Amino acid sequence: MFRITRILSTFNKTPISLCSNELDKKGAFIRKDSSFRNHVCETDPVFKPEAGRYHLYVSLACPWAHRTLIVRALKGLDHVIDVSIVDWLMGPNSWEFTGRDGATLDTVNNAKYLRELYFKVDKDYQGRFTVPVLWDKKTSTIVNNESSEIIRMFNTAFNQFAKHPELHFYPEDLRKEIDEINEFVYPNINNGVYRCGFAVSQEAYEEAFHNLFNALDKVEEKLSKSRYLVGNRFTEADIRLFTTLVRFDCVYVGHFKCNKQQIKEYPNISNYLREIYQMEGIKPTVNFFHIKHHYYGSHGTINPTRVVPVGPNISYLDIPHTRSSL
């Protein structure tokens, strides 16, 4: 495998690292695993659930970080876990805290760049500087930077402080089915769009492209019979799919060449997407300015001019859904 690491930025004429994208011999994108995998729970000897102890670092552009913001919002944890938001532009030093365009400064560590947090924990750190990051203020360390694990912590670990402890997005009786859905959606759709966009060979691109749209066809069929991915229960499986779907028409269709169909052309998926987008607490977590400007402005190999499209029209997201009939 090899890395795309040095790309000339038209903003500052300096080499930049774009997520340390990994490619196999066929030119297919391979995503590395996250590095920090501790958990907040009552039985953990170090990371106990406490209000105000933990801080969440996110990008509003990133679909993985977006998952954590959604669960935090739905569970009512905004007063329990505070947030810092990186800039939409991934520049020569990766994610930066600028305070512009809806981003914030780092209110906990006063870092200028996200990478400073990784080096603060491990001065010899060799991995990627990714979001989300769940930070422990008490021990001054990274607890976890894997979104799928952070959302499960937010789902149950902080219930004693949550405004909505009754909401459960990974219920025990549905876990087997949720896991099966996740195992299908992640490689084919969540990561599938990236495998299309970052492929550097025709073979790798077409393989990812067909896998992606075959998977979307299966989801379309499934949603013709059930309101959500797991029957009539809204679960983490829906949240994990939503963050890809909501970026699809405005970014992935053009920027990542996922152009067989737009989501708005799938009757069931688009109706499902509208329902989730319109749920109380979710719409405020979606920032299309950050989404579009990050992808089109940060990926120099894909969009060397950094020109950000004006369209498409995504006003269909506000059309009332009809999913309650299922």
> Active-site residue numbers?
62, 194
Length of the chain measured in residues: 326
Residue 58 DSSP one-character state = E
30 forms beta bridges with 22
Helix (H) / strand (E) containing 133? strand 133-136
- Tokens 């691109």: give the residue: 205
- Tokens 């991915």: give the residue: 229
CB count within 10 Å of CB 125 equals: 16
What is each CA distance from 317 to 33, 145, 213, 269, in whole angstroms?
Answer: 33, 30, 21, 11
Is 95 annotated in a binding site? The answer is yes
Is 133 annotated in a binding site? The answer is no
Residue 187 DSSP one-character state = I
Is 88 annotated in a binding site? The answer is no
Is 158 annotated in a binding site? The answer is no
Helix (H) / strand (E) containing 141? strand 141-144
Is 130 annotated in a binding site? The answer is yes
Written as six digits, the tokens of 309 are 């499209």
Question: How far is it, in rounded angstroms, from Cα 213 to Cα 189?
Answer: 8
Angle formed at CA 34 by CA 31 and CA 37, multiple of 5 degrees: 155
Written as six digits, the tokens of 57 are 């670092």
91 forms beta bridges with 94
Is 40 annotated in a binding site? The answer is no
Is 135 annotated in a binding site? The answer is no
Binding site listing: 95, 128-131, 146-147
Binding site listing for glutathione: 95, 128-131, 146-147
